[in-house]
Amino acid sequence: MLLAYTIPIASLDLMDDSVNDISLPIAMPERVAELAELVATANADRAPIVVAGNSTKLDWGGTVAGAKSIVSTQKLDRLIAHAVGDLTITVEAGMGFDRVQEVLATAGQFLPLDPVYPDRATIGGIIATANTGSLRHRYGGVRDLLLGISFVRADGKIAKAGGRVVKNVAGYDMMKLFTGAYGTLGILTEVTLRVYPQPTTTGTVIITGAIAALATAAKMLLASTVTPIAADIVSTAFSQQLELSNTPSLVVKFATIPASIAEQSAQLLAIAKGLGLKAGIWQGTQAERLWSGIQTGIWGTTPIGCKLGVRLTAAIDTIATLDRLTDRTARGVIHLNSGIGECALFTADAILPLRSHCEANGGFLSMLQAPPDLKQQIDIWGYRGNAVPLMQQIKHQFDPLAILNPGRCF
């Protein structure tokens, strides 16, 4: 159904100067069939739509051009199935991340994702933006946890891929295709995810000091037998905000039995001592606040938010480069086991030099969150590979009339 209220276009980072002073109607269907009907009508009318969940990341990615309405999945929020023994959960895409964790917690389980807005983000939005953080060190990214999906195609037809069991490997891997597609290929309606037993005991080791010594410590950590669930290198400004140090920091989290946490923490403390670095152990609410700060402290705090990636061996040097290019004012974090990270910038001056650094180290820098005029000046994705024509062909096959979030990716 089409609701009576509207959302101002200025708040959605849409690109169409002819409609800057009006608002878009928003539809929140409560059933998948209603959503399919809305999309089919939009397709028939050639009326592009903005696809949304709870609107936490509508300003990420490219500017959407020519949209006539917004379609939100936030009322598609039912729990479909929780197979406790199989360690899977199936929910509608509009279900909030926090609600999913509450359901899983009753069975001593959790979904090992740490999205930017954990109290507001929907599962569909997390998948559409491939949004997770430090926990990818142990559990992988969003697509590694996604087992099956249902979605509404651009023509309004309902489709499915994957299944509700961990060993289902039949068919084309649509889950990976939809992860990080920003709602441009279809609208997710139902997802099945792999879950894990909830850790009962955790411990955090903080190592701070000179960047060269931290690089050695990180290298020794990755080569050692310790098994953290998270290991991040944090920039100087972010370390200061998190009340860690006036230098970059290495932040490591363990989740296992107490004796193992103590032993592994001792190994890291010994490494730090041998390199002349400061180190300490944080536990309880102090550690929880720290990891929550890392999870939520980048996006929405400055005018420009970027996602970046480099080779694992370049992670420390990339944080040093970020500090140098911004005179130690930029908040940034890189996850050591993947080389993926995020940074918050106050000005655009560092974007292109930092992108060049990332590309020189086998990676990328995407300017996801920025004022609309800046997004028109600088290519937000910065991708120069030969896969763009292929991605454009896929978009055309899934959405030939460019109905779904046109311009958000291409």
Q: Are strands 69-72 and 23-27 parallel, antiparallel or unpaired?
A: parallel
Q: Are strands 69-72 and 49-52 parallel, antiparallel or unpaired?
A: parallel
Domain-by-domain residue ranges, the chain?
Answer: 2-72, 79-197, 202-296, 304-377
- The domain 304-377: what is its CATH number? 3.30.70.100
The confidence score (pLDDT) of residue 137 equals 95
Calpha distance 2→307 (Å, rounded): 34
Give the tokens for residue 220: 């020794």
- DSSP assignment string, 305-341: EEEEE--GGGHHHHHHHHHHHTTT--EEEEETTT-EE
- The domain 202-296: what is its CATH number? 3.30.70.3450
pLDDT digits 0-9 by tens, 152-189: 999 999 999 887 655 444 555 789 999 999 999 999 99
Give the H or E element holding residue 88.
Answer: strand 88-92
The confidence score (pLDDT) of residue 281 equals 97
Q: In 3-state terms, what secondary structure has residue 177?
A: helix
- Reported as half-sphere exposure (CB side, CA atoms, 13 A), residue 311 has a value of 8
The confidence score (pLDDT) of residue 384 equals 75
- Cα dihedral value 134, 85, 191, 163, nearest 10: 120
Q: Is 85 exposed, middle or buried (0-12, 13-18, 19+ CB in 10 A)?
A: exposed
The confidence score (pLDDT) of residue 163 equals 72
Q: Are 43 and 71 in contact (CB under 8 A)?
A: no
For residue 129, report the phi and psi dihedrals to the nearest 5 degrees.
-105, 5
Kindly state the greatest CA–CA separation across the chain. 68
Give the tokens for residue 94: 């509009």
Give the tokens for residue 313: 């061996």
The confidence score (pLDDT) of residue 164 equals 65
Tokens 């107490």 correspond to: 258
Give the tokens for residue 143: 């697509």
CA 360 and chain centroid, separation: 23
Of 224, 210, 231, the closest CA to residue 323 belongs to 210
What strand order describes the sheet that includes 364-369? 278-282, 202-208, 249-255, 230-234, 331-335, 340-345, 304-309, 364-369
Task: Tell me whether the CATH fold assigned to 79-197 matches the one assigned to 304-377.
Answer: no
Which residues, including other chains, have CB under 8 Å from residue 378's CB and lie 6 or more apart? 348, 351, 352, 367, 370
Q: Is 50 exposed, middle or buried (0-12, 13-18, 19+ CB in 10 A)?
A: buried
Q: In 3-state terms, what secondary structure has residue 195?
A: coil
- Reported as half-sphere exposure (CB side, CA atoms, 13 A), residue 288 has a value of 3
- The domain 79-197: what is its CATH number? 3.30.465.10
Calpha distance 243→231 (Å, rounded): 18
Which residues make beta-bridge pairs with 134?
none
Per-residue model confidence as pLDDT tens for the chain (410 residues): 444 334 443 344 444 433 333 478 999 999 999 999 999 999 999 999 999 999 999 999 998 889 999 999 999 999 999 999 999 999 999 999 999 999 999 999 999 999 999 999 999 999 999 999 999 999 999 999 999 999 999 999 999 988 765 544 455 578 999 999 999 999 999 999 999 999 999 999 999 999 999 999 999 999 999 999 999 999 999 999 999 999 999 999 999 999 999 999 999 999 999 999 999 999 999 999 999 999 999 998 889 999 999 999 999 999 999 999 999 999 999 999 999 999 999 999 999 999 999 999 999 999 999 999 999 999 999 887 788 888 899 999 999 999 999 999 86
